[in-house]
Structure 1
Amino acid sequence: MEVLLKFKLNEHLYLRDPEQTAIGKAIVSNAIELIFEIGFEQFTFKKLASRINSTEPTIYRYFTSKYKLLTYILNWYWTYLEYVCKMHLVEVNDPTKKMILILEIITHHINHHTQLHDYNLDHLHLIVISESSKSYLVKEVDEINNDMMFAPLKSLCLFISEVILKLEPHFPYPRSLASTLLETAHNQHFFSEHLPKLTDNASRENHKDYVLKYLTRLTFYTVKPA
């Protein structure tokens, strides 16, 4: 069964909502594939236009810069991930089981639909691992934050932090731990695959399994269930 998801994202990210037109959807889906293939540094609107048999001005009618397009893609991912968390946790009452499910979701151990609205989630996940920090490790981060462009990431962190507080109501750092888990899930996967001596993954394989085991130990040694 085909599943189509549409999320309304921050209007500051685009000039025209790409979800409303076929060419807009093609811009986003092909941007994901191109960034996955060549990396964000080498990605340009000229290359994207060639890929979709269109023109650079057409892309600029939707996004003013490749940075805005990357942030749009990342925001879609964060929104999607929170949606998946809520769907899987809705009938789970045990906070320990909730936390385990969250860790499985953020490390992509939960079975996802590979294609949702023509977006390849496997490729999108790898983009998040390698490129997501580029959306906020910039000099203009405060100005960007004022436009609420990081709202989906904050919302996901808040959701995770609430589950952490269910585990231990008096834990003093729920949001810090939530954001640490998300960032560590990406960094340790990247290190395990490319810089293995920065990890303890002796096999240098099964990167997702290694990261899940590490995050599980980190979480439950840091937060003792009430």
Structure 2
Amino acid sequence: MERLLQSVKIGINEKIYVKDPESSDLGKRIIEQSILMINDMGFERFTFKKLGGQIGSNESSIYRYFENKHKLLLYLTSWYWGWLEYQLVFSTNSIADPSEKLEKAISVVTRTTVEDSSFSHINEVLLNKIVINEYSKSYLTKEVDAENKEGYFVIYKRLVTRISEMISAVNNEYSYPSSLASTILEGSLHQHFLKDHFSSLTDCHNNSDPTKYFLHLVFTSLK
């Protein structure tokens, strides 16, 4: 899988950016440093001015890639979901048994993230933390319906659909496959957040616990 991923380019909706950051060294530095800075200071305190100072470039040069930091957050979260989708597809492609395939898929999307050397300018561990802490800020906006129509969330929705189809393959009489699939993705983020910040509100205290919890939840529901 590592060899295959080395040749993979995560496809992001072109409407999210002005210029593809993957097309230049400056663009890649913008992505690399924005991940480090947002993880360190949070999305609210992060600004393009601070980013420009960090990468030694004018603030205006960043605007040649992204209209604003909201679009940058959309790019980062879309990239993460696209990367996770590739992980899921490659990990489950050769599995024929529906239950085993779903079990593997749940493991992929709920496990603790490890860094992927296939993308040297992106720290997936820190990006995962950003998604856990900041993802809701990309869609809890007044513009969400318009942005949805523009396809800004298509990768996330496609990932939900993939898991939903796997759920139906295990039990085609189950009435809520999409609801359960979205619960797995959103719930995993929430359980990892609780584990790190409000440990008394979750039973998932070890790295593997969120996966164990969602395996139990899903397969109990599908009986």
Please give the TM-score of this superposition, normalised by the length of structure 1: 0.92
Aligned to 1:190: 193
Shift of 1:108: 3.0
Q: Say yes or no: does 1:118 pair with 2:143.
A: no
Aligned to 2:36: 33
**C-alpha distance after superposition, 1:142-185 (max 9, x if no partner):** 11111110000001001111110111011111111111100000
1:5 and 1:116 in contact (8 A); partners too = no
- Provide the aligned length of Structure 1 versus Structure 2: 220
SS at match of 1:164: helix
- CA–CA distance in structure 1, aligned partners of residues 143 and 94 of structure 2: 41
- CA–CA distance in structure 2, aligned partners of residues 43 and 56 of structure 1: 13
57, 78, 82: which is aligned to 2:81? Answer: 78
Q: Say yes or no: does 1:223 pair with 2:222.
A: yes
Gaps of 5+ in 1: none
SS at match of 1:172: coil
2:113 and 2:124 in contact (8 A); partners too = no
**C-alpha distance after superposition, 1:48-77 (max 9, x if no partner):** 111111111000011011010001011011
- CA–CA distance in structure 2, aligned partners of residues 117 and 89 of structure 1: 25
**C-alpha distance after superposition, 1:4-46 (max 9, x if no partner):** 5322211110111111111111111111111111111111111
- CA–CA distance in structure 2, aligned partners of residues 115 and 126 of structure 1: 19
Moved more, 25-34 or 67-76: 25-34
SS at match of 2:82: helix
Q: What is the root-mean-square deviation of aligned Cα atoms in Å? A: 1.7
- CA–CA distance in structure 2, aligned partners of residues 106 and 186 of structure 1: 10
SS at match of 2:102: helix
2:115 and 2:123 in contact (8 A); partners too = no
Q: Say yes or no: does 1:150 pair with 2:149.
A: no
Gaps of 5+ in 2: none
Q: Percent identity?
A: 40
Query: CA 1:4/1:46 → structure 2, altered by over 3 Å: closer, same or farther?
Result: farther
